[in-house]
Amino acid sequence: MSVKDESFRDSIATINEEGKRNIIYPRKPKGKFTNLRTYLSWVLLAILFASPFIKINGNQFLLFNILDRKFNIFGQPFWPQDFYLLVISMLIGIVFIILFTVIFGRIFCGWICPQTIFMEMVFRKIEYWIEGDRAKQIKLDKQAWNAEKIRKKSIKWFLFAVISFLIANTFLAYFIGGDVLISHITDGPLEHLDTLFKLLAFTTIFYFVFAWFREQVCIIACPYGRLQGVLLDNNSVVVAYDHKRGENRQKFRKTEDRDQKGYGDCIDCKQCVLVCPTGIDIRNGTQLECVNCTACIDACDEIMDRVGFEKGLIRYASENNIEKEEQFKFSARIISYITILSLMLVFLIALLFMRNDVEANILHLPGQMYTTKGDTISNVYTFKVINKTNRQFTDLKLNLVSHPGKVKIVGGPVNLAKGGLYQGTLFIDIHKNDLKSSKEKLKIGVYNQSNLIETDKTNFSSPIKIK
Ligand code: SF4
Ligand code: SF4
């Protein structure tokens, strides 16, 4: 960057020279980008609050029940046995975010991240509504505790607590299930003290984050923010100040010929700084604290409009775009990320297609020897069949695929409810002439009518010597 003074990098805006918290009072943003982000935030908030309560084929739309090891993604149930699919999906998500960051910088932070959406579109808006814009908030905080201050602060903190409680309920519903949460609420809080405790703990955390910790989550705590330094390059499109056009910054005077005096288009009004929720000056260049919220673009565009200059002094642009007027190009790094992402997606889709409707696990009963009845040798097993679908299976049978012989399920054929699990015991009988060794590998099939829908392997013990 052409900016030479780098002293701004020695400190962060949220901490003052004595090392104490510096409260940031951003001016209320308004403009084209703020409007677009507001509309998008409504959609995202609706999805976030509704997802644990929407059902697809009877399954919760999104569920991350870690304790019971049940996961639903877009209404599709995943079992612990499918954990590898979740891990691959997460890896794809990470590569996607990296790719997105390399191309578009922290666009995720500004437009999609729940922290920014709740902070800027919910809590901050309530604050503006109750306490007014930046100047009024500063005045209120400075004034002594009178009736007005007590009233405004109490209403604000009460609303913050209510919204934190709502978020805590939604958050918990993702983990224990929307139905379970509703039943715990209707049973009464004292019937489920553990749920009540979790709700209060989450409410406290959310209240702390949105009422006090705020932008420090993005500046200090978020690991994604820390990654920017390695992900961004001169080709990445970020919220950027066009220093070539803006410098030499000078105050605006109507009668002055700025071109003749060699002034840039920045009139040093500092509106871009005053609206910034992380308290930085974007004119210093790309900084880790910038969450790409676009507030400074709107603020500067408004000023440019007022003074009759072209908009876009602060805009979405890459360093190369500003410095060399280059258009975006696909670098080798971007192409390699896209290739990796495409391969991973193809791999995931192939795995999803190969995923069976049911999963069977057949284990030799520990400590049990084979038994013989005439020429027939018998082994006993425990087995588990999981239904990964939303339909019911009746009369599932298990048969030997690799050998002639019989599988006898204790209690008869298996009936599996949708998403259900069946555990039982079975015997396998094989004629000694059909065995070649004392530890034979068997392949057993699960049949729905005459369709083979799953296979599993197990061992069969016998007194047969290797021929
Ligand atoms: S809002 Fe625009 S004109 Fe005003 S200080 Fe910022 S960059 Fe300069
Ligand atoms: S510099 Fe601009 S885009 Fe970045 S956080 Fe501040 S206001 Fe938002």
CA distance 6 to 8: 5
The token pair at 393 is 């299976």
- Ligand 2 pocket test: pick from 119, 280, 297 the residue with the most ligand atoms within 8 Å of its Cβ: 280
Q: What are phi and psi of 272, to 5 degrees?
A: -65, -30
Rg (CA), the chain: 31
Cis amide linkage into residue 248, ω under 30° from 0: yes
* Domain end (from 211, 230, 249): 230
- Decide whether any atom of ligand 1 lies within 6 Å of the 239 Cβ: no
Instruction: Clarify whether residues 121 and 201 are in a common domain.
Output: yes
- Decide whether any atom of ligand 1 lies within 6 Å of the 269 Cβ: yes
Residue 71 lies in a domain: yes
pLDDT of residue 467: 54
pLDDT of residue 78: 80
Nearest CA residue ID for atom 6, ligand 1: 272
Neighbours of 307 (CB within 10 A): 12
Instruction: Clarify whether residues 319 and 243 are in a common domain.
Output: yes
- Ligand 1 pocket test: pick from 272, 274, 301, 311 the residue with the most ligand atoms within 8 Å of its Cβ: 272
Q: Is 444 exposed, middle or buried (0-12, 13-18, 19+ CB in 10 A)?
A: buried
Q: How far is CA 291 from CA 18, 214, 307, in A?
A: 25, 13, 27
Instruction: Clarify whether residues 17 and 133 are in a common domain.
Output: yes
CA distance 103 to 91: 18
pLDDT of residue 5: 62
Where are any strands of DSSP class E within 295-375? 314-317, 358-364, 371-373
Instruction: Clarify whether residues 144 and 211 are in a common domain.
Output: yes
Q: Which of 148, 156, 153 is nearest to 122 (CA)?
A: 156
pLDDT of residue 8: 65
- Decide whether any atom of ligand 1 lies within 6 Å of the 303 Cβ: yes
Yes or no: say if 419 and 59 are a contact pair by the CB < 8 Å rule. yes
Q: Which residues line ligand 2 (CB under 6 A)?
A: 239, 275-278, 280, 282, 290-296
Over the chain (467 residues), the average pLDDT of each successive run of 10 is: 58 76 92 97 96 88 85 81 83 85 86 95 97 96 95 97 97 94 91 93 97 92 82 88 92 87 93 95 90 96 95 93 83 84 89 83 89 93 87 90 94 85 93 91 92 92 76
Residue 254 lies in a domain: yes
Instruction: Clarify whether residues 174 and 253 are in a common domain.
Output: no
Q: How far is CA 163 from CA 152, 179, 199, 243, in A?
A: 17, 21, 12, 41
Q: How far is the CA of 287 from the centre of ligand 1 (A)?
A: 17
The token pair at 425 is 């015991």
- Decide whether any atom of ligand 1 lies within 6 Å of the 300 Cβ: yes
DSSP 272: H
- Within 13 A of 96's CA, how many CA atoms are on the CB side? 10
For 125-153, the pLDDT digits (tens) are: 999 999 999 999 999 999 999 999 999 99
Residue 348 lies in a domain: no
Q: Is 118 exposed, middle or buried (0-12, 13-18, 19+ CB in 10 A)?
A: buried
Nearest ligand 2 atom to the CA of 291 is 5
Yes or no: say if 444 and 362 are a contact pair by the CB < 8 Å rule. yes
Nearest ligand 1 atom to the CA of 283 is 7
Instruction: Clarify whether residues 136 and 282 are in a common domain.
Output: no
Number of the ligand closest to the Cα of 29:
2
Instruction: Clarify whether residues 243 and 214 are in a common domain.
Output: no
Q: How far is the CA of 255 from the centre of ligand 1 (A)?
A: 19
Nearest CA residue ID for atom 8, ligand 2: 293
Instruction: Clarify whether residues 219 and 275 are in a common domain.
Output: no
CA distance 453 to 313: 62
For 36-74, the pLDDT digits (tens) are: 999 999 999 999 999 999 998 788 899 988 887 788 888
Number of the ligand closest to the Cα of 263:
1
- Ligand 1 pocket test: pick from 247, 258, 270, 290 the residue with the most ligand atoms within 8 Å of its Cβ: 270
Nearest CA residue ID for atom 4, ligand 1: 269
Residue 344 lies in a domain: no
Instruction: Clarify whether residues 157 and 295 are in a common domain.
Output: no
DSSP 122: I
Nearest CA residue ID for atom 2, ligand 2: 296
Nearest-5° Cα angle at 84, 79 to 86: 70
pLDDT of residue 466: 56
Instruction: Clarify whether residues 82 and 97 are in a common domain.
Output: yes
Neighbours of 266 (CB within 10 A): 26
- Decide whether any atom of ligand 1 lies within 6 Å of the 240 Cβ: no
- Within 13 A of 401's CA, how many CA atoms are on the CB side? 18
Nearest CA residue ID for atom 5, ligand 2: 290
Nearest ligand 1 atom to the CA of 241 is 7
Q: How far is the CA of 300 from the centre of ligand 1 (A)?
A: 5
pLDDT of residue 73: 84
Residue 386 lies in a domain: yes
* Domain end (from 189, 214, 230): 230
pLDDT of residue 3: 47
Q: No. of H helices and E strands in the chain?
A: 18, 16
How many independent structural domains does the chain possess? 3
Q: Which domain holds residue 206?
A: 7-230
DSSP 440: E
pLDDT of residue 4: 54
User: Residues in the chain, how many?
Assistant: 467
Residue 206 lies in a domain: yes
CA distance 403 to 123: 67
Neighbours of 341 (CB within 10 A): 16
CATH number of 429's domain: 2.60.40.10
Residue 338 lies in a domain: no
Instruction: Clarify whether residues 38 and 143 are in a common domain.
Output: yes
Single-letter amino acid code for the residue at 277: P
Task: Classify strands 421-431 and 406-409 as parallel, antiparallel or unpaired.
Answer: antiparallel
Tell me which residue has tokens 């499109």: 237
Q: How far is the CA of 269 from the centre of ligand 1 (A)?
A: 5
Q: How far is the CA of 243 from the centre of ligand 1 (A)?
A: 11
CA distance 169 to 202: 8
Residue 242 lies in a domain: yes
Q: How far is the CA of 147 from the centre of ligand 2 (A)?
A: 35
Nearest ligand 1 atom to the CA of 270 is 5
Neighbours of 390 (CB within 10 A): 14
Number of the ligand closest to the Cα of 34:
2
Contacts of 107 by beta carbon, 8 Å cutoff, 6+ apart: 100, 101, 292
Instruction: Clarify whether residues 78 and 209 are in a common domain.
Output: yes
CA distance 280 to 274: 9
pLDDT of residue 207: 97
Q: What are phi and psi of 430, to 5 degrees?
A: -135, 140
* Domain end (from 181, 206, 230): 230
Q: How far is the CA of 28 from the centre of ligand 1 (A)?
A: 16
For 268-282, the pLDDT digits (tens) are: 999 999 999 999 999
